[in-house]
Structures are given as structure tokens and as C-alpha cells.
Amino acid sequence: MTQLVTSPEIGREIVAAGYRTNLHDQGEGAPVLLIHGSGPGVTAWANWRGIIPLLAQHRRVIAPDMLGFGYSERPADAQYSQQRWVEHAIGVLDALGIAQADIVGNSFGGGLALALAIRHPERVRRLVLMGSVGVSFPITAGLDTAWGYTPSLANMRELLDLFAYDRNLVNDELAELRYQASIRPGFQESFAAMFPAPRQKGVDDLASDEADIRALPHEALVIHGREDRIIPLEASLTLAQWLPRSQLHVFGQCGHWTQIEHAGRFARLVEDFLAEADAAAAAQQHNRA
């Protein structure tokens, strides 16, 4: 119990879409929802810990553990789908009384952010998709390894080597921490249920239809690491081509962890992009006044 109370991964608990949900809620201003990736042992804090305090200087940052991940509830039927995760994300916004938010999605979370914008366009102001799924592509060996993870310290170290371009970010301490996270009670069982073999189906199930993506009216920022071995750069190139109001930023010497390997640059890029919308909203309000 002491570990749960003192862990920085524990934020506060709400009920979202009927499920107990752990989330971090920091800062004031225009709300931004951060949706994490799908690596084994991942939590919102593990994914976004370096970004939350930077963005929270100017806006309200909400980072939940998505359904089945981290310290949020695991559904008894162990059934997971794009639709169910999107409903959970909407449930988070509803529980917090947020009518519209900017959405930042990482990898798996990018696919959910895209699907959320398609199904509930009025709930999204701007989109940021980082190393994102959301279009179909032949599954990479790296993603197959990540989704097929079985708990061992050696497997976790191998996986972290795939995620990061800068190997200095991957050390025995980090591997131990992520390994211990992956073997907490219930974590591996729910993770294994999410992306069973053949895992190409997981990529395809998280993809949205091209016509729906092309019809999105939102401003979108697409970000990718050039050396990403988990999600291919081509996925973001496709998203940037299909999203009519998009811009693309590619970080060189960067793997799948843009928000960690280039945390300051990433945060400034996202903040500038979202601040444009703040300024436009302020101008509209001034004109109405």
C-alpha cells in the first residue's frame, strides 16, 4: 500500500465511462489531453513525466492511464478495442466537465486521438500525433516485439534498446523500473489480451479510414522520429498527406521516444502550435465583445 501511495505514477482517481481511472491533472488554462502509448508496463506518468510540467506552465494538462493500462481499472471481460478506448477518453473529458480539448497522442495514443476526432469532432480543438498509428502499415519487427513482450529483465532491456535512438537513455536502472512495472499484479494479463497474435490485426484495428481522415477539419501537428524502429516514418508521412490542415515535423537522430529524447524541443513545438489556437480564440472573444 505504501508503494501505491508514494509512487509518482499515481495521480488522482476519477470514474470515466464507468471505470476507475488514474490520471494526472496539472496546470490551468486551455485543456490538453495526453494519451500515452502501448509499451509494456506503460503509465501516463512514465510516458509524459518530462512533458507534463512543461506544458502545464500555460495550460491544463490531463494525462490518464487508459483503460487496462497502469493504475486504471481493467474490464472484467478483458475485451479491448479502438472504440472502447475512445469511449474511455471521452469519459475522462465528461467526468472533468471539459467540452473541448486539444489532444496529444503518442503511438497507440495517436491512433486513439485520430479516431476520437473522427467520431467526436466537436470535442477536439487541435490534434498532435506523435509517432502515431492510425493508418495501416505492415507491422514492424519492433512493434511486434513490443506487443509480444513476455516479462523478463532481458526482454525489457532489449525492448528499450528498440525504442531509443540515444542508447544513453537506456540503462539497467530504467530497464529494472519498467520490468517491475510490467509484472505488477494484473498488468501483463491485460497487456497480453490487448494485442494477441497475429499482431498485424492490432495495427489494422487502430487504423481509421482514409476518407474519414481526409474529412477532418482540425489543425493537426504530425511528429515523428526519423530513426523510429517501432512505428515507421511512412505512417506519419501518410497522415500528413491525408490530413488537409496538417504540418509535419521530423526529428533526426530520434527513435520512438520523441517526447523523451527531445523533450524540450517537443514541448516548445507543441506549445507554439497550441498557442496559435489560444490566440485565435482570444481574438474571437474580443471581436464578440
6, part of any domain: no
Q: H/E/C letters for each residue in 250-286?
A: EECCCCCCHHHHCHHHHHHHHHHHHHHHHHHHHHHHH
Look at residue 286 and tell me if it is in a domain: no
277-288: average pLDDT? 84
Contact 70, 38 (CB under 8 A): no
The answer to whether position 206 is within a domain reads yes
What is the rounded average pLDDT of the residues 139-163?
95
How confident is the model over 237-258, as pLDDT tens digits? Answer: 999 999 999 999 999 999 999 9
> Domain for residue 152, yes or no?
yes
C-alpha span between 273 and 135 (Å, rounded)? 23
Q: Which residue range forms the structural domain that includes residue 153?
A: 12-280
Residue 3 has pLDDT above 70, yes or no: no
Which of 36, 224, 256, 262 does the annotation list as catalytic? Answer: 256
Rounded average pLDDT over 113-129: 98
- Integer distance in angstroms from the first to the last C-alpha of the chain? 53
Angle between helices 108-119 and 82-95 (to 10 degrees): 70
Structural domain total, the chain: 1
Is 159 inside any structural domain?
yes
Mean pLDDT of 225-242: 98
Domain annotation covers residue 32: yes
pTM over 0.85: yes
Contact in structure between 250 and 37 (CB atoms under 8 Å): no
Is 289 contained in some domain? no
Identify whether 87 is part of a domain: yes
Using alpha carbons, select from 31, 38, 41, 57 the residue that is nearest to residue 7: 41
Does residue 66 have a pLDDT over 90? Answer: yes
b or e along 255-278 (b: 16 or more beta carbons within 10 Å of the residue's beta carbon)? bbbbbbbbbeebbebbbebbeeeb
Q: CA distances (Å), 266 to each of 54, 186, 278, in order?
A: 10, 33, 18
Mean pLDDT of 182-200: 93
| Residue 38 pLDDT > 80 | yes
- The active-site residue, picked from 72, 190, 218, 228, is 228
Identify the pLDDT of residue 7.
86
Residues constituting the chain: 289
Active site residue 256: yes
Distance CA 4, CA 179 (A): 17
**Over 80: is that where the pLDDT of 288 sits?**
no
The whole-chain average pLDDT of the chain stands at: 94
Instruction: Tell me what pLDDT residue 4 has.
Output: 43
pLDDT band at 174 (very low <50, low <70, confident <90, very high): confident
Report the CATH number at residue 183. Answer: 3.40.50.1820
Pairing of strands 19-26, 60-64: antiparallel
- Check 107, 132, 208, 246 and give the catalytic one: 107
Q: What is residue 289's predicted lDDT score, i.e. its pLDDT?
A: 67
Catalytic residue check, 172: no
Q: Which of 156, 183, 22, 42 is nearest to 106 (CA)?
A: 42
Angle, helices 187-194/172-182, rounded to nearest 10 degrees = 80
Q: In angstroms, rounded to a whole number, what is the distance separating the alpha carbons of residues 271 and 289?
A: 27
- Whether 246 is a known active-site residue: answer no
